[in-house]
């Protein structure tokens, strides 16, 4: 992403990273999470789940900022994110 103005402390601010979890069997393929993810992390998977729906899948590993929006808009309790463990230094 390109910014026309960058905050002075941008380098110091740690952006939370999230890991998306998908419970495939609960998904009904509405696509809400895919369309409304603010970081465009998800895409429709060509794969069908047990009920015949296309579930979402992560297309940009590491792009999730753990905002939980997918978790709240999902009508099926089928997706959620947890904070990624910071890489051990």
Partner 1 sequence: MTTKKNQPTHPLDSLVRTDRIPHIWCPGCGVGTAFSSCLIAMKSSGIDLQKTTMVSGIGCSARGPGYTNLDSYHTTHGRAIPYATGMKLANPQLNVVVFSGDGDLFAIGGNHFIHAARRNIDLTVVCVNNLNYGMTGGQVAATTPSLSKTTTTPQGNPEPPFNLPLLAFASGATYVARWTILHTRDLTKSIEEALQRRGFSFIEVLAPCPTGYGRRNRERPLDALRFYQEKSIIKNDAHPADIILDYQKGITLGTFVDVEKPTFTDIYEKTCRLDPAACM
Measured distance CA(63)–CA(19) in Å, rounded: 9
* Angle (CA) 22 87 55, round 5°: 10
Give least dist CB 2 to partner 1, A: 24
Select the residue interacting with partner 1 from 10, 42, 51, 84 (CB under 8 A): 51
Note whether 62 binds partner 1 by CB under 8 A.
no
Note whether 41 binds partner 1 by CB under 8 A.
no
Give least dist CB 87 to partner 1, A: 18
Select the residue interacting with partner 1 from 37, 41, 66, 80 (CB under 8 A): 80
Instruction: Give the number of residues written for the chain.
Output: 89
62: nearest Cα among 39, 31, 36: 39
Widest CA span in the chain? 50
Select the residue interacting with partner 1 from 41, 53, 56, 66 (CB under 8 A): 53
Say which DSSP state 26 is in: G
- Specify the 3-state DSSP secondary structure of 19: strand
Judged by the rule CB under 8 A, the positions of this chain that interact with partner 1 are: 21, 23-26, 28-32, 35-36, 50-51, 53, 69, 71-77, 80, 82
């Amino acid at each position: 992403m390109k910014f026309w103005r960058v905050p002075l402390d941008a380098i110091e601010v740690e952006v939370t990273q999230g890991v998306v979890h998908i419970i495939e069997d609960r998904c009904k393929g509405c696509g809400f999470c895919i369309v409304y993810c603010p970081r465009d992390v998800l895409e429709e998977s060509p794969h069908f789940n047990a009920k015949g729906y296309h579930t979402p899948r992560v297309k940009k590993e590491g792009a999730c900022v753990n905002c939980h929006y997918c978790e709240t808009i999902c009508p099926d309790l089928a997706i959620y994110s947890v904070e990624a463990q910071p890489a051990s230094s």
